Amino acid sequence: MRPVLTHLALGVRDLDRTIAFYQKHVRLHVVHERNDNGMRVVWLAEREKDAEFVLVLFEVVRAPAGPGTLQHLGFAVASREEVDAAAAAGRADGVLTIEPTYAGPIVGYFCIVEDPDGNQVEFSYGQPINPRDLPRDLPRDPPRDLPGDAPGGSARLAK
């Protein structure tokens, strides 16, 4: 198994302010945005198309901390069997925190283990990172204007 780092997911206190910061200071682009069970989720990447690594941001009410958050390092593996193998290794070491789970076409099949400092590490299969690979028939919220956008949210992809 050779996992590939595909994303870093961070909970932030002010999503719009954080997006504006990364757009201005790091020149990242919004490549995907959705409402996931009432939680706004935004992906930022260096390239507007064909992203290979994304920064996943979601808003949290208080300062994020510990394993109860969605913050994690995300590694893609080549098959569901490799997710199961990562889970088995984590289980054997007593660090498996989420058993292998299928969470739909965006999140895919994944498990989560914890590193020695309590950071979550996700192993996933079938989790498209490039927005062009996302299912096109998913319901989407209308784009929201970000600071500096023209009305209608010109900084994000429409589909």
Residue 31 pLDDT: 95
* Residue span of the structural domain in which 129 resides: 4-133
Is 26 inside any structural domain?
yes
Q: Is residue 158 part of a domain?
A: no
- Neighbouring residues of 45: CB distance < 8 A, sequence distance ≥ 6: 28, 29, 31, 51, 52, 53, 54, 55
Examine residue 99 and state whether it is found in any structural domain, yes or no.
yes
Whole-number pLDDT of residue 151? 40
Residue 71 lies in a domain: yes
Is residue 41 assigned to a domain? yes
Residue 90 resides in a domain:
yes
CATH of the domain at 27: 3.10.180.10
pLDDT in tens, 106-159: 889 999 988 765 768 888 999 887 777 877 765 554 444 444 444 443 333 332
| CA 46 to the chain's CA centroid | 15
pLDDT at 83 over 90: yes
Distance from the Cα of residue 94 to its chain's centroid = 25
Counted domains in the chain: 1
The CA distance from 34 to 43, in Å, is: 9
pTM for the full model?
0.59
Instruction: Please tell me the predicted confidence (pLDDT) of residue 127.
Output: 85
Flag whether 154 is in a domain.
Answer: no
Tokens 């290794």 correspond to what residue?
89
Residue 143 lies in a domain: no
Nearest CA-CA partner of 35 in 83, 111, 106, 112: 106
